[in-house]
Amino acid sequence: MQTRAVLGIGFLFCAALVFCSQVWAQGDEIEKRRLLMESNNEAATKSISKAAKEGNFTEVQVQAKAIMENMDKVPELFPKGSTSEKSRAKAEIWEKWDEFTKDAGQAKKAAEALADAAKAKNEADVNAKLKALGEACASCHKSFRAPRKSS
């Protein structure tokens, strides 16, 4: 009888460890994706915009490629149900997974088009592609990101 009790307690302890590690892992994923999205925002709204105004097409290309690489990481940073009070991820992400990943792919394509325009040193095309990238990002955020919580 005592052996069963010890085994039962051991099982509960192991189950608790597995559960806690999953919760912590989700917290890590939430933090990783927050940092990724912030780096995209920093690149797109600040670095690329500034570089485009200055005619620094090399910098536009570098930052656009960074966004492309980040967009490849998006699906892995949203494991099913990875939400928290700090996360603005909506449940619709997992309910409409194909649409969500398609939106990430569209943002990657927009960043790629921007990089191509920068490589061609076409200022008008860079500005148009930068706008298209912003629209691709906004489309996904509109569907899958909750508004900021008021403090």
Range of the domain at 67: 29-144
Q: What is the CATH number of the domain that holds 56?
A: 1.20.120.10
In a domain, 117, yes or no: yes
In a domain, 7, yes or no: no
Which residues are within 8 A (CB) of 84 and not within 5 positions of it... i.e. 6 or more apart?
26, 27, 30
Number of separate domains in the chain: 1
| Residue 107 banded pLDDT, cuts 50, 70, 90 | very high
How does the average pLDDT of the chain come out, rounded? 84
Say yes or no to pLDDT of 24 above 50: no
**What's residue 137's pLDDT?**
93
99 or 18, greater pLDDT: 99
Distance CA 140, CA 119 (A): 26
In a domain, 19, yes or no: no
In a domain, 11, yes or no: no
Mean pLDDT of 122-126: 97
In a domain, 1, yes or no: no
In a domain, 2, yes or no: no
Phi, psi of 84 (to 5 degrees): -160, 180
- Asked which of 14-28, 35-49, 85-99, 102-116 is least confident by mean pLDDT, the reply is 14-28
State pTM to two decimals. Answer: 0.78
